[in-house]
Amino acid sequence: MVTEAIILAGGLGTRLRSVVPDAPKVMASVAGQPFLTYLLQFLEANGLRRIVLAVGYRSEAIREFFGSRFGGLELVYSVEEEPLGTGGALLRALPYVEGASTFLLNGDTFLRLDYKHLASQLENHHEPELVVALRRVADASRYGAAIVADGRIQGFTARGTPAPGLINAGSYLIARDIFQRYPMPAKFSWEADFLQARAPEVRPIAFECDVPFIDIGIPEALQEAQTLIPEWMNATA
């Protein structure tokens, strides 16, 4: 059973500066609590026990608030001394993982996913290197849509074209040693340089889900999250 997760929590939150002027994006206030609080509560409720926080910008604010434990979760910090991109942050965090596989979450996305169901892909496929949670939306233009064939992601369409599609929902199941098979530089973007550029080679498993989802990366979405996320959390209690 997978009981660990890496949360990419080093984002600068540039697009949120008008409403979150001097804090990491995961510390953006949602109904009076840091957004990260809800991610941790939800992961603990899903049976996780150990979280690696990949932090960078204003990492001290996260560490001072959450410390080394949150409820029943052990919190471990992987700190970027300089910006490495989301991929570089992940590459730095993976050695802190104790098991052969871990969940991976974008720190600005809330997906009310059944993580045990996601972990079942370890049994359904022979040694999967990467499973990507996908969610169908009416307009995929903000993200680009996944191109799926035979249960595998073949690539992604470009952003900007209004159309329905399956989008990357920001939650993954990843093998700890994936970059031993697919080497990457110390600094890179997880989505642009790896997921999108190397999808035809890696062929990640597509895990389609139809559950509540929000990406708080823009002010309008953060405002929606003020009511939506507490409602979703109450529904899982």
How does pLDDT run across 117-169, given as a tens digit for each residue? 999 888 777 777 999 999 999 999 888 899 999 999 999 998 888 889 999 99
Domain extents for the chain?
4-134+170-236
Cα 221 versus chain centre, distance = 16
Coil, strand or helix: which one is 199? helix
Q: Are strands 50-55 and 4-8 parallel, antiparallel or unpaired?
A: parallel
Level-2 CATH architecture, domain 4-134+170-236: Alpha-Beta Complex (3.90)
- CA 225 from chain centre, in angstroms, equals 17
Q: What is the pLDDT of residue 128?
A: 79
pTM to 2 decimal places:
0.94
pLDDT over 90 percentage in the chain: 73
pLDDT at 19: 56
Average pLDDT, the chain: 91
Instruction: Identify residue 137 by its one-letter amino acid code.
Output: V
Cβ atoms within 10 Å of 14's Cβ, excluding its own: 9
What Rg value do the Cα atoms of the chain yield, rounded? 17
Give the pLDDT score at 134.
96
Nearest to 218, CA basis, from 16, 34, 55, 60 = 16
Task: State the helix-helix crossing angle for 59-66 and 35-45, rounded to 10 degrees.
Answer: 50
12-70 tens-digit pLDDT: 656 555 556 567 888 989 999 999 999 999 999 999 999 999 998 788 989 999 999 99
